[in-house]
Amino acid sequence: MIFYTTLFIGLVLDILSKNFAFIYLQNKINIFWDLIYLKYILNPWIAFWIKIYPLLLKVITISLIILIFSYYKKERKTIKNMKILDFSFWLILAWAIWNAIERILNSNVIDFIWVKYFSIFNLADSFIFIWAIIYIYILYKNNK
C-alpha cells in the first residue's frame, strides 16, 4: 500500500508542477539574478542536454528503471525495517517512471527550472537527486 500511495503522490506532484509550468511559465521568469530562471521547455534530451537518438533514449530510460527496481529488490532483502529507505526508493521510482512515460509518449520531458551555464530540469529531477542522496546516505550509514 505504501508503494501505491507514494507512487500516486509523486505522480500528482509532478503532473501539477508541469501543468503549472505550461500555464504560467511560457515566458521566462528571473528567480535569482541572471542565473536561475523558470521557463516551460520541452526537453528531448537527457541530463545536461546530452543528445541521444530518441529510440535509444527510450530503451535506456526503461532499462534504467528496471535496473533500479532490480537493485532495490536485491538490496532490500539485506536491510530490514527501514521505512525511510523504502519511502525514498518509491519516490525516486515514481518520478523516474513519470519522466519515462513522458519521454515514451511525447518523445520529450517538460522542464522548467533553468540554471544558466548548467542545465534545465524539473521538479521530478530535483526530487530524484535529493532522495537518491538520502538513499545512498542511509545505505552508507547502515553498512558502517
pLDDT tens column, 104-130: 888 888 999 988 888 888 888 888 888
Cell of 20: 503549472
Q: What is residue 80's predicted lDDT score, i.e. its pLDDT? A: 64
Give the range of the structural domain holding residue 57, as residue numbers without chain letter: 2-143
Do residues 131 and 92 touch, judged by C-beta distance below 8 A?
yes
Between the two ends of the chain, the Cα-to-Cα distance in Å is 30
Provide the domain count of the chain.
1
Q: What is residue 144's predicted lDDT score, i.e. its pLDDT? A: 57
Q: What is residue 126's predicted lDDT score, i.e. its pLDDT? A: 84
Q: What is residue 26's predicted lDDT score, i.e. its pLDDT? A: 92
Inform me whether the pLDDT recorded for 36 exceeds 90.
Answer: yes
